[in-house]
A and B are shown apart, each in its own frame.
Chain A
Amino acid sequence: MEARRSIFRWKSTLVAIAIIGGTFTLARFAFGIGAIANVNNAYPWGWWVGFGVLSFIAFGGCGFTLALLVEIFGQHRYAPMVRPAITMGLLLYLGYVVILMIELGRPWMGWIIFFSWQPTSALFEVAWCATLYTTVLIIEFGSVAANHYRWRRSARILGMVYLPAVVVGVSLSHLHQSSLGTLLTIVPLKVDSRWWSEVLPATFLTSSYMAGLSLVTIEHVLATHYLRLKPRVDLLGGLARFQIGLIVIFLTLRIGSLVYEGATDAALRFDWLSFLLWTEIIVGFLVPLALFSIPDVRQNKWALFASSCLLAGGILLTRLNTAVFGMRVKHWESYQPAIGEYATTFGVLATLVLIYGFAVRRLPIHREEPLDEDPAPGIAPHAAKAAV
């Protein structure tokens, strides 16, 4: 009963946030970008790109990371986590498209990207790969829906193309996740020396793996808690082991590039950007690394949840630092995200969470065993069915 009340409270809050975001979106299309945003010539990549695009794509990497782990590397014990990961990946990619369309303001002109052939442009590659990958995610998610609703013909076709789609999806993801870093590598004079490096494509790719695994852990803990299912702590512990390796690789690249690019003096300066850098490195990466390395933490779902939240925060801060806070502009230029920018991104995020909650209750996305013999009706029907 308490769980249902808590879910209702969360749902009401999310609906309110989504409505506010929707109102600001309407205002953007009615009165123009200047009415709701503070982005300017000095900061064309503001909150929308830093949070809405770069971070949504990073966290949307959960789909390809789990597909890579299970279908390509053959770690089939993680198979129960693939469906939630693909669903979240699909929703985050759709969310990124929506935010991009809100920012650009002309969604009806989106098709132009397919006819503006610019194969040497990193942005062109990102646009193509992200679009194709979203299609792949729809195919992967479609096979779940088709099997559940017994659309036999569609299920058969989707089943046939599922594995090739996974391979294509993983390849496309590697391309565009690293190309997001390339986008910033080609503007060395625009990005602060503390974040610019030649290995940005590699750090962006590594951080997308970490973001994906963090999101899968956070989702699994919350979903099993609210749906009253048995959490797979053994699998979460396994993912934490992968995270240790990934954080070590990421930090080696990050610290190594700071030393190689000669940015250590800037990193040791007492200013706002160095504060952000050290917050990112210590709170966002070193603390999770230390926590994941402790065996007791790897066997405790809430400790794993907290560590993953810290790591997710670290990745989010890295992306914002690289694309927004670390932008080098003339000293009189300034940028403070407007309420409209926050409202639209959080509105989209709230809508995604609501859709995800709906999908989890309607489709067999989570197939863990229920915690109790008699789970609360309506909360986890698939889990109940599985138990029977």
Chain B
Amino acid sequence: MAKSSNARMGTFAVFGVAVLVNLVLSIFLLDQVRRTRQEVSDLSRELASKQDVAMLRPLRVNEILERRCTRCHTDQRFAKLTGMGRPEILETIQRMREHPGSNIPSSEVREIQAALLVFRCIACHGEGVLSQIVLMPPEDRVRFLRDKVRMPDSGFRTDQVGELLRAFETLVDRPKN
């Protein structure tokens, strides 16, 4: 008698849970259908802009600095790096690496140096704008950077175009985490 009562309870419970789960899933699926219809009707004529394509491969300058530098230093400290060239920045990073607990692997030194150099550009242009450089052919990229470096208050010397170009290439080529 008790066994049949338990079996009945079990059957009711399984059936009840199945119905309830089905109800929740149905609500979610209906919502998905509604949202998809909404998104399709909201699609613009221009499916993707240059910026959208560029953002598929962002430079992630802020991410690199946030991961390795900003735990100890504020952004203002990076301002002191203005005027420094590649060798000075590399020397600074090597010095930081010697601090106990800094936890900077040697494999990341190049990209941190590149990020610190490009960080100066971010003062005026967003990371999204800079990512558009990825889309440029190499000769256009050189011309573009040369024009930008020549601008007053660019923060770079004219002989640093090569360094800047290499920094961009390092950031563009870095593997995705």
Q: Which residues of A contact B (CB under 8 A)?
A: 251, 255, 258-259, 262, 264-265, 267-268, 281-282, 286-287, 289-291, 293-294, 296-297, 303, 330-332
Q: Which residues of B contact A (CB under 8 A)?
A: 5, 8-9, 12-13, 16-17, 20-21, 24, 27-28, 31-32, 35, 66-67, 177
B28 touching A267 by the CB < 8 A rule? Answer: yes
B20 touching A332 by the CB < 8 A rule? Answer: no
Cα–Cα distance between A184 and B27 once the two chains are bound (Å): 26
Please provide the 6 A-B residue pairs with the shortest distance between their CB atoms, ordered closest to farther.
A290-B16, A286-B20, A264-B28, A264-B31, A290-B17, A259-B31
- Least distance between B49 CB and chain A CB atoms (Å): 24
Contacts of A303 in B (CB 8 A): 9
Query: Of the candidates B12, B20, B27, which one forms a contact with A289 in the assembled complex, judged by CB atoms under 8 Å apart?
Result: B20
Contacts of A282 in B (CB 8 A): 17, 21
Cα–Cα distance between A331 and B21 once the two chains are bound (Å): 32
A262 touching B35 by the CB < 8 A rule? Answer: yes
Contacts of B177 in A (CB 8 A): 331-332
Cα–Cα distance between A293 and B9 once the two chains are bound (Å): 10
A258 touching B21 by the CB < 8 A rule? Answer: no
Given contact pairs A264-B32, A268-B32, A331-B177, A286 touches B17 in the complex (Cβ within 8 A): yes
Contacts of B67 in A (CB 8 A): 330, 332
- Least distance between A303 CB and chain B CB atoms (Å): 7
Q: Output the nearest chain B residue to A41 by Cβ-Cβ distance.
A: B71
Q: List 17 A-B contacts (CB under 8 A).
A: A255-B27, A258-B28, A262-B35, A264-B35, A286-B17, A286-B24, A287-B17, A289-B20, A290-B12, A290-B13, A290-B16, A293-B16, A296-B9, A297-B13, A303-B9, A330-B67, A332-B67
B35 touching A297 by the CB < 8 A rule? Answer: no
Q: Output the nearest chain B residue to A296 by Cβ-Cβ distance.
A: B9
Contacts of B27 in A (CB 8 A): 255, 259
Cα–Cα distance between A58 and B24 once the two chains are bound (Å): 25
Contacts of A294 in B (CB 8 A): 9, 12-13, 16
Q: Output the nearest chain A residue to B63 by Cβ-Cβ distance.
A: A330
Of the candidates B9, B13, B21, the one having the most CB atoms from chain A within 10 angstroms of its own CB is B13
Cα–Cα distance between A332 and B68 once the two chains are bound (Å): 11
Contacts of A267 in B (CB 8 A): 28
Contacts of B31 in A (CB 8 A): 259, 264
Cα–Cα distance between A258 and B24 once the two chains are bound (Å): 11
Contacts of B66 in A (CB 8 A): 330
Cα–Cα distance between A267 and B35 once the two chains are bound (Å): 14
- Least distance between A139 CB and chain B CB atoms (Å): 42
Contacts of A258 in B (CB 8 A): 28
Q: Output the nearest chain A residue to B9 by Cβ-Cβ distance.
A: A296
A297 touching B24 by the CB < 8 A rule? Answer: no
Contacts of B5 in A (CB 8 A): 296
- Least distance between B6 CB and chain A CB atoms (Å): 8
Query: Of the candidates B8, B16, B28, B35, which one forms a contact with A296 in the assembled complex, judged by CB atoms under 8 Å apart?
Result: B8
Contacts of B13 in A (CB 8 A): 287, 290-291, 294, 297
Contacts of A281 in B (CB 8 A): 24
Of the candidates B12, B21, B24, B28, the one having the most CB atoms from chain A within 10 angstroms of its own CB is B24
Given contact pairs A258-B28, A268-B28, A330-B66, A297 touches B20 in the complex (Cβ within 8 A): no
Given contact pairs A259-B31, A262-B35, A268-B28, A297 touches B9 in the complex (Cβ within 8 A): yes
Q: Output the nearest chain A residue to B11 by Cβ-Cβ distance.
A: A294
Cα–Cα distance between A294 and B9 once the two chains are bound (Å): 7
- Least distance between B32 CB and chain A CB atoms (Å): 6
Cα–Cα distance between A351 and B149 once the two chains are bound (Å): 69
Contacts of A262 in B (CB 8 A): 35
Given contact pairs A281-B24, A330-B67, A265 touches B32 in the complex (Cβ within 8 A): yes
Query: Of the candidates A264, A265, A290, which one forms a contact with B20 in the assembled complex, judged by CB atoms under 8 Å apart?
Result: A290
- Least distance between A286 CB and chain B CB atoms (Å): 4
Q: Output the nearest chain B residue to A331 by Cβ-Cβ distance.
A: B177
- Least distance between B158 CB and chain A CB atoms (Å): 37
Q: Output the nearest chain B residue to A258 by Cβ-Cβ distance.
A: B28
Cα–Cα distance between A294 and B177 once the two chains are bound (Å): 51
Of the candidates A267, A290, A297, the one having the most CB atoms from chain B within 10 angstroms of its own CB is A290
- Least distance between B164 CB and chain A CB atoms (Å): 27
- Least distance between B50 CB and chain A CB atoms (Å): 27
Cα–Cα distance between A287 and B21 once the two chains are bound (Å): 10
Cα–Cα distance between A291 and B8 once the two chains are bound (Å): 12
Contacts of B35 in A (CB 8 A): 262, 264-265
- Least distance between A87 CB and chain B CB atoms (Å): 32
Given contact pairs A262-B35, A293-B16, A286 touches B21 in the complex (Cβ within 8 A): yes
A255 touching B9 by the CB < 8 A rule? Answer: no
Cα–Cα distance between A281 and B177 once the two chains are bound (Å): 33
Contacts of A255 in B (CB 8 A): 24, 27
Contacts of A330 in B (CB 8 A): 66-67
Q: Output the nearest chain B residue to A290 by Cβ-Cβ distance.
A: B16
